[in-house]
A and B are shown apart, each in its own frame.
Chain A
Amino acid sequence: MIQVENLTKKFNGTPAVSDVSFSVEDGEVLGFLGPNGAGKTTTMRAITGFLPATSGRVTVGGFDVFASPIEARRRIGYLPEHPPLYPEMTVDGYLRFVARIKGVPSSDLRFELDRVMDTARIDDMGGRIISRLSRGYRQRVGLAQALVGDPPVLILDEPTVGLDPKQIHEVRELIRSWKGRHTVVLSTHILPEVEQTCHRVAIIARGRIVAVGTPAHLVERLERSARIVMDVAAPAGEAAAALGGVPGVADVRVLDASDGRARLEVEAAGVGADVEPELARAIVERGWGLFGMQSSTMSLEDIFLELTTDEPPGGEAGS
Chain B
Amino acid sequence: MRNVLTIVGRELRSYFVSPVAYVVLGVFVLLSGVFFQAILVQTLQMVQTIQAQSFGGTPQPIDVPGEISRQYFGTLGVILLFMLPMITMGLFAEERKRGTIELLLTAPVTDLQLVAGKFGAAVAFYAVLLGVTTAPISILFLYADPVLGPLATAYLGLLLYGASLLALGLFVSTLTDNQIVAGVMTFGLILWLWIVDVLGGAAAGTTRAVLTHLSILTPLGDFMNGVLAVSNLIFYMSLATLGLFLTYRSIDAWRWKG
Contact = CB atoms under 8 A, between A and B. Distances in A.
A82 interface: yes
Given A88-B18, A89-B14, A97-B10, A102 B108 contact: yes
B3 interface: yes
Contact of A50 (B13, B14, B18, B102): B102
B99 interface: yes
A148 to B, nearest CB: 10
Nearest to B100: A84
Contacts, number: 75
Contact of B106 (A73, A87, A100): A73
B136 to A, nearest CB: 32
B255 A93 contact: no
A145 interface: yes
A100 B3 CA distance: 7
Contacts of A74: 108
A11 interface: yes
A85 interface: yes
Interface in A95-115: 97-98, 100-103
Nearest to B14: A88
Interface in A50-78: 50-52, 70, 73-74, 76, 78
A49 B106 contact: yes
Contacts of A49: 105-106
Contact of B258 (A11, A89, A145): A11
B108 A145 contact: no
B218 interface: no
Max chain A Cβ within 10 angstroms of own Cβ: one of B18, B102, B256: B102
A152 interface: no
Contact of B99 (A51, A73, A82, A103): A82
B108 A101 contact: yes
Contact of B6 (A51, A70, A73, A100): A100
Given A82-B99, A84-B100, A50 B108 contact: no
A102 B109 CA distance: 8
A80 interface: yes
Nearest to A103: B108
B105 A102 contact: no
Given A52-B255, A93-B13, A73 B108 contact: yes
Contacts of A197: none
A78 to B, nearest CB: 5
Interface in B63-84: none
Contacts of A86: 10, 14, 98, 100
A187 interface: no
A85 B100 contact: yes
Interface string B94-126: 000011111111111110000000000000000
A48 interface: yes
Contacts of A145: 103
A98 B106 contact: no
Given A48-B106, A51-B258, A145-B103, A101 B3 contact: yes
B21 to A, nearest CB: 11
Contact of B103 (A42, A45, A98): A98
A200 B116 CA distance: 42
A88 B107 contact: no
A84 B103 contact: yes
Contacts of B102: 45, 50, 78, 80, 82, 84
A87 B108 CA distance: 22
Contacts of B98: 84-87
A114 B123 CA distance: 34
Given A45-B258, A85-B98, A86-B14, 7 more contacts: A42-B258, A84-B103, A85-B100, A86-B10, A86-B98, A97-B6, A98-B103
Interface of B: 2-3, 6-7, 10, 13-14, 17-18, 98-110, 255-258
5 contacts: A88-B14, A88-B17, A88-B18, A101-B104, A101-B107
In order of increasing CB-CB distance, the 6 nearest A-B pairs are A84-B103, A100-B6, A82-B99, A84-B100, A48-B106, A80-B102
